[in-house]
Amino acid sequence: MKNILFSILLLISAPGGLLAQLHVAGSTLAIKSGAVLYSTGDVTTAGSAILDNGGTLITPSSIKNAEMATMQGNGQYTLQDDWINSANFDAGTSTVTFGGGDQ
């Protein structure tokens, strides 16, 4: 119980908040239709990971699809930095929107 309380207090007192990264490695992450997943940091898939996006994935940072990972589905990807795809991207009817630094 003390560890949980300490962790909560640490998160609350962090100056400016903490950046959240989304790293999917060797597992499957499904974003269902109508759902929105927001990451304040980079989004990375690696290993044998599958990111099945049927909803919306938003980050003000980069999206990196690496190694043997797969990004698939019919969802929306919105990012402001780099899109790095060195693995499998089965786009379906997906759309990718680059917001740039001004948004």
**Tokens representing 3?**
């560890």
Predicted confidence at residue 4, as pLDDT, reads: 55
User: What gap in Å lies between CA 74 and CA 5, rounded to an integer?
Assistant: 40
Three-state secondary-structure class, residue 3: helix
Cβ atoms of residues 40 and 61 within 8 Å: yes
Q: How many CB atoms lie within 10 A of CB 73?
A: 23
- Round the CA-based radius of gyration of the chain to a whole number and report it: 15
Local confidence pLDDT in tens for the 103 residues of the chain:
555 544 454 444 454 445 568 999 989 999 999 999 999 999 999 999 999 999 999 999 999 999 999 999 999 999 999 999 999 999 999 999 998 654 4
pLDDT score recorded for residue 99? 86
Distances in whole angstroms, Cα of residue 89 to Cα of each of 35, 51, 55, 102: 20, 10, 16, 27
Q: For residue 73, what are its two tokens?
A: 């589905």
Residue 17 confidence (pLDDT): 47
Q: What pLDDT sits at residue 1?
A: 52
Domain-wise residue ranges, the chain: 20-98
